[in-house]
Amino acid sequence: MPLGERYVGDKSESRYCGVETDFDDDMTNLLSFNIHGGFDFLLATLMNPDYRPSLLGDDTSISHALPFAGSDLVLSPSQWNSHVVGKISSWIDLDSDDETIRKDSEIALKQEIAWASHLSLQACLLPTPKGTSCANYAKCLNQILQNLGSMQLWLRIQLDDSEYDAEERNPDHMGEGQIDSWELWNSFRLICEHHDHLSVALDILSSLPSSSSVGRWFGEPVRAAIINTNSFLTNARGYPCLSKRHQTLTTAFFNHSVQIVITGRPVHNIPVGASGSSGENPIEGGWRHPLRSYLDYLAYLYQKMDPLPEQERFELGYRDYLQSPLQPLMDNLEAQTYETFEKDTIKYSQYQRAVAKALVDRVPDENATSVTTVLMVVGAGRGPLVRASLQAAEETERKLKIYAVEKNPNAVVTLHSLVKLEGWEEIVTIVSSDMRDWDAPEKADILVSELLGSFGDNELSPECLDGAQRFLKEDGISIPSSYTSFIQPVTACKLYNDIKSHKDLVHFETAYVVKLHRVARLAHNQPVFTFTHPEYSTKKSNQRYKKLLFNIPSDTGSALVHGFAGYFDATLYKDVHLGIEPSTATPNMFSWFPIFFPLRAPVCVQPGNPLEVHFWRCCGPTKVWYEWCVTSPSASPMHNTNGRSYWVGL
């Protein structure tokens, strides 16, 4: 059953909870028992665990029927597809030193995956690699993946506390040949060429690694979290519960559409006739699934989660969806784009605050009725900044004269209608022109624009405001007055695979606007480029270069960097800020998603080894573009040389 009813589209697959089962050749009864017990799907072994190909002998004249758990007819196709995740035999060891075991494993793996594919299962759970080496296992699986179809393969990886704990990390405590389980996964997926049908199922034990170590998994393709009953504590009433850290982790899994699977035997003795931990009454007739109290507790955790804020629900469809940034100078925006931006009331209330403060500083109270401030909105669009400026004038009781400058002739039509509708004809003058080409009839006291992109300067605000600055008074005010871009390294397996699917260089050298969700932020972000307006320096240039050094926290362990998340923070005027840089982000604002700069080849960073990255902002006669590369711990190719793949046209 669903773990809880929430907003439509809120959690998708994460509503559902599965159970790991032992081998049973009566699949019909096994499914019925667990579905009626409240679970949504099974992790079910597909083949008798006693089967070994070598035991069949060499007599090829005899046709041996493989010992599957029933034929495909014991369940309907929809039952196989919706309620069963196949579990590949756990004895399989493709990197064994024993040649017989290795060959048996290779044969059995192919047979079982072929059977699962025949059943149209959505996914199969692969056994954990047995040792520190997984080369042959990954090689054999990679061959299978090339012709697999749509089925997902979940590699079972143990999330154990031998990973990097900030307090107790000591190489001497790690067993001979022991390896961080993330490194095991990383080796496996690298050999499998980052195949997008290869995912992870994490085994959650009673102790957890550090928060930083756990956090890197949220940038990986984790499909399931398998929680052992031994990981549950006992509350005061005798029911199973989880530690605070386990609760936080489970809630994070829910938020990332990771399905939960319960495994193990019941270790809590629930009083007969008692209700579940979430207050649910027993099933009629007094029968309860042996693991039902664990399911009830997970349902309780799910149901007590705060509902998604309206903004998050609005952005659900954009999560991890790559979008090309706007070309504001080359292209005219469509009405739908304007409408989306205009709904962001928080952004325009911040602009109104900034204009109000500027008006008060510009005109003392004693001159409020006699002095008219000249304000120019450059890039007026359909008028939201004009409205915000007029509201600021009304609020401060200042007189205002506005020039609304807009290059898009379609938006100018809407501007004329707005001015007439609101009766602003005596206050607002509409100018249909590119701000860089317009000859203003007078100088402005205040210059207002909303030309900022996700990376601050990536929609050519510096170039546009440089062109408009000539009609700002020497003591005039620019809103915004400055803005800074920021980047941070991230693990973003989904984004990387989406870009890789295009099979070309261009997509790996393009910066994307994306609502980041399934990512692991590996270090604190750092500032990159800053622009200030007005800028009267005679040596000014909009070209920039920055070298940045990121130190991944030592308790994170190794991590794979797929690219860099980018943000901006802008000072509109004095203490009025606007931005999406995570530590200072303007609450409830949705006009900008972060930007993502991918790496053609992901870079593996080891604990204690800094990540050195270089960013350039390059300017030519007709375009502006970024170039970027990594130089440590290993050198990457230069990305987007001469703007060959991605640029913003002037």
Enumerate the known binding-site residues for S-adenosyl-L-methionine.
338, 347-348, 406, 434-435
> For residue 22, what are the contacts with CB-CB under 8 A and spacing of at least 6?
45
Residue 329, amino acid: L
Any bridge partners for residue 614, and if so which?
Answer: 547, 629
Q: What angle do CA 234, 237, 238 make, to 5 degrees?
A: 40
Cα separation, 419 vs 422, in Å, equals: 5
Cα separation, 346 vs 358, in Å, equals: 19
Any bridge partners for residue 648, and if so which?
Answer: 624
Cα separation, 102 vs 90, in Å, equals: 13
Cα separation, 261 vs 85, in Å, equals: 11
Contact by Cβ (8 Å): 483, 569: yes
User: Distance of alpha carbon 524 from its chain centroid, rounded?
Assistant: 16
Nearest by Cα to 20 from 254, 224, 261, 206: 261
Question: Which residues are known binding-site members?
Answer: 338, 347-348, 406, 434-435
Tokens of 467: 């062109």
Contact by Cβ (8 Å): 231, 206: yes
Tokens of 131: 């040792």
Cα separation, 441 vs 443, in Å, equals: 7
Which residues are known to be catalytic?
450, 459
List phi, psi (to 5°) of 522. Answer: -90, -15
Compute the chain's Rg from CA coordinates. Answer: 30
Q: What angle do CA 71, 74, 78 make, to 5 degrees?
A: 110
Nearest by Cα to 579 from 565, 597, 595, 591: 591
